[in-house]
Amino acid sequence: MRIVIAGGHGQIALRLERLLAARGDEVAGIIRKAEQADDLRTAGAEPVVLDLESASVEEVAERLEGADAAVFAAGAGPGSGAARKDTVDKAAAVLFADAAVRAGVRRFVVVSSMGADPHHEGDEIFDVYQRAKGEADAYVRSLDGLDWTILRPGALTDDAGTGLVRLEAHTGRGPVPRDDVAAVLAELVDTPATNGLTLELISGSTPVSVAVKSVAGN
């Protein structure tokens, strides 16, 4: 498969790129800064320099041409203000989804956030973030041109992955290593039977491949 990842230099994205490249997939990561390119090459991915906050749908669609799947893993990051929650966590996700439709890339996986809700109330930065992610998710769900799966991990940690997770429509809150989030994403990309599902993810007791096959059967 050829898989294009938005937010290619993110902590989850770099892990995902390594996993996909190791299994023989062709991976491209969209990055904002050219100096990030070597990190992607080390992970086995082709760096594509493009700023999703200023690019047009046509420009993004051009980078998606010929891909079998697209993964939105971009984020403004914890140090960013409210404005960038809107321009990255929401607007860039909408742009990437529209571009995937235009390029004919049906398989579309989103890294969202547990608790994302377009009607989330409050004015704190995290409130704005949850609302932006929720609005982006709702937009992706509205597109008939995508076979989408939305993944909502719990509290992200840098602990070593265990390969054991709980993946369900509703898990309740809990932590999950970024390693395991990447492992689940790699399986989801390759499991189109999860189309139309919004899934929560935390650490658990089920091997990743079994967990994905289980939800795909529902």
Question: Known catalytic residues?
Answer: 129
Amino acid at the residue 131: R
In the chain, % helix, strand, coil (3-state, to 5) comes to 45, 25, 35
Give the whole-angstrom CA distance, residue 152 versus residue 201. 6
Q: Give the C-alpha separation, 14 to 17, whole Å.
A: 5
CA 82 to chain centre: 20
Residues 6 or more apart whose CB falls under 8 angstroms from that of 78 comprise none
